[in-house]
Structure 1
Amino acid sequence: MFKGLGVILVSAALAFVGCSGDKKAENKVAAKEDKSAKTIIVGATPVPHSEILEVVKPLLAKEGYTLEIKVFNDYVIPNKVTDSGEIDANFFQHTPYLNEFNKSQGTKLVSVGNIHIEPIGVYSKKIKALSELQEGDSVAIPNDPSNAGRALDVLANAELIKLKDADHKTKLDIVENPKNLKFTELEAAQLPRVIEDFTIAVINTNYALPAGLNPSTDALALESSNSPYANILVVKAGNENSDKTKALLKALQSDEVKKFIVEKYKGAIVPAF
């Protein structure tokens, strides 16, 4: 009798331990899921995007979210990992680049709002003004389709070249080049590092600033402030109205961020909301 009772008690104890273990495992899974639901991972290039996101961190914390910033030094990987779901959003590009990327890569990424404008500019370590350009001087521009066209537009507005009307302008769309300037297309991130190898280089602000080039003081020519190339917050299609996306966009378009952009960059970068 007592032996049988002992077996029953041992079995009951084991069952209790098993239930307790299952409960702890369930709690861990629930805690992990809750943390994931309250963590927003954003991919960004270093300047100014990651700097702006640092301002956003405490704003999101008040809403119960933890912001993780993943810094990238190119324009391809952050779109790839946003599309795959490895990160929640990215902040580094403008709409023409996004549209071209979706078309060429088959990704399904969408903009959820404008944040700021970074005027692309013409820089040089060899001349002090564009009027000093000589016959056959060298010009470096970005090699991605949207920024290449953007760079050519800046040069056309500076009356260095004339372009035919085209949706995506390339070197082949130059119809007049009075100084016979020699154009080289390179990866956008590489341009500040090779600026001394060319007479002039057309550089995106997010790469110019870390290299010590200030658009408002160093650029020989600068994109107009009414540029359509506003930098945007991007998410995977279907996530536009998620709680995370709404909270992130609200923080990025806040008065605190607008004040930071105005005071920090002093016109080199302009709020677009």
Structure 2
Amino acid sequence: MKKFVRTLGAVAVTLALVACGSDNEGNDNQAGDGDDSAAAVETIRIGASAVPHQEILEAAEPILAERGIELDIVVFSDYILPNQELESGDLDANYFQTPGYLAQQISEYDYDFVSVGSVHAEPIGIYSQDYASLDELPEGAEIILSDSISDHGRILPIFEDAGLIELDVEEGELATIDNISSNPKNINFGSRQVEARMLAPSFESGEGDAVAINTNYALEGNVDIDQYGIAFESDDKLQGNLLVVRSEDENNEAIVTLLEVLQSEEIQQFIQERYNGAVIPLVD
């Protein structure tokens, strides 16, 4: 794919300008004034999760149009393809991942990617149909997790903060199940790990004693966050959802403009009003 495609103004406008330039009555200078409608439009092809990322990008489209930028939004239902297609050049950017996941992907696949900035945070939540708090979880409770190891580093501290487990992990590193050093209630974290997009269906079908669900998939799956969410990431541990590009495009003007709009007061207010605290504006 040719990156950042420029779409010229209508052919009819161009022909009209040429005709003015060749006018026999000495009106050559009139054509030189140009026409704003013929200005180049920058198109960014961006991969995103459906909720809330696609919705946030769509809210930004009218503002971007005023600044000469169009978005071609490609929606993905998983976390693997958006990075693969960014690497291949089929995308110019993606918007769905956290710093921990991006670092894990770069380490595993040697992607030459950078984050240009964060837009919002989605606290991972623990959801249960049977228990109203983490303290109520029974001995040997089964917790269904995402199969993404980077998510474990966000989920396990929720249980540690509640006093249910202890973690032995170096500062700055993401915890894994192997880092659990104390687990008095023998909570079962390892037996059920599913793709992140399947967490909401697992919850709806009543699997496990609790399910740790990424907020975007809870929203997409119409899980009642207020009714069933029994614990969430603390504010000091929130990770931003990033606008990510190939390193070569870090300073591309269109990308810089896109980030400015996504971090603008208007879009941040949209996030607050649309998601009522389930999605949190987070500008770095």
- TM-score normalized by the length of structure 2: 0.81
Corresponding residue for residue 75 of structure 2 = 71
Shift of 1:189: 1.3
User: Which amino acid in structure 1 is aligned with residue 231 of structure 2?
Assistant: A
**How far apart are the structure 1 equivalents of 2:104 and 2:118?**
18
Specify the alignment match of 2:257 in structure 1. 247
Deviation at 1:128, TM superposition (A): 2.3
Contact 2:156 2:175 in 1 (8 A): yes
| Alignment partner of 1:152 is 2:124 | no
Residues 227-236 or 43-52, more deviating = 227-236
Are the counterparts in 2 of residues 120 and 203 from structure 1 also a CA contact under 8 Å? yes
Partner of 2:181: 175
Question: Quick one: which of 153, 159, 163 aligns to 2:167?
Answer: 163
Pairing partner for 1:59 from 47, 58, 63: 63
Give % identity. 39
2 CA distance for matches of 1:245 and 1:192?
Answer: 33
1:80 has 2:84 as partner: yes
Alignment of 1:1-273 (within 5 A): 34-35=6-7, 38-166=42-170, 167-183=173-189, 184-195=192-203, 196-216=206-226, 218-273=228-283
CA displacement, residues 61-90 of structure 1 (integer Å, 9 cap, x when unaligned):
111221111000111100111122111110
- Secondary structure of the residue aligned to 1:151 is helix
Q: CA deviation at 1:155?
A: 1.4
**Matched-pair contact (CA < 8 Å) for 1:119–1:215:** no
Deviation at 1:214, TM superposition (A): 4.6
Q: In 2, distance between residues paired with 1:108 and 1:215? A: 36
Counterpart amino acid of residue 186 in structure 2: N
How far, CA to CA, are the matches of 1:60 and 1:263 in structure 2?
Answer: 20
Matched residue SS, 2:261: helix
Q: Distance in 2 between matches of 1:142 and 1:259?
A: 30
CA gap of 1:216–1:239, structure 2 versus 1, over 3 A, is farther
**1:10-37 superposed Cα distances (whole Å, 9 cap, x missing partner):** xxxxxxxxxxxxxxxxxxxxxx952296
Give the 3-state SS of the residue equivalent to 1:99 in structure 2: helix
User: Which residue identity is paired with 1:187?
Assistant: E
Give the Cα separation in 1 of the matches to 2:224 and 2:129.
13
Name the SS of the counterpart of 2:237 in structure 1: coil
Aligned pairs, number: 242
2:96 aligned counterpart, secondary structure:
strand
> Which structure 1 residue ranges, 4+ long, deviate > 6 Å from structure 2?
none
1: CA distance between counterparts of 2:59 and 2:241? 17
Letter of the aligned partner of 1:230 in structure 2?
G
Is the 8 Å Cα contact of residues 214 and 268 (structure 1) preserved in structure 2? no
User: What is the identity, as a one-letter code, of the residue corresponding to 2:121?
Assistant: I
Whole-angstrom CA distance in 1 between matches of 2:235 and 2:271 = 15
- Maintained 8 Å contact 1:215/1:222: no
Given that 1:142 and 1:151 are in contact with CA atoms closer than 8 Å, whether structure 2 keeps it comes out as no
Aligned-pair CA distance for 1:237: 0.7
Residues 122 and 33 (structure 1 numbering): CA distance in 2 closer, same or farther, change over 3 Å?
closer
Shift in Å at residue 142 of structure 1?
A: 1.6
Q: Which runs of 5+ in 1 are unaligned?
A: 1-31
The residue type paired with residue 138 of structure 1 is E
Matched residue type, 1:256: E
SS in 2 for 1:136: coil
Distance 1:160 1:201 in 2: 16
Distance 1:251 1:140, change over 3 A: same
SS in 2 for 1:93: coil
Higher helix share: 1
Opposite residue 250 of structure 2, the aligned amino acid is E
C-alpha separation between the residues in 2 aligned to 1:131 and 1:123?
13
Residue 266 of structure 1 aligns with an amino acid whose one-letter code is N
Instruction: State the superposition RMSD in angstroms.
Output: 1.7
- Judge which range, 51-60 or 161-170, deviates more: 161-170
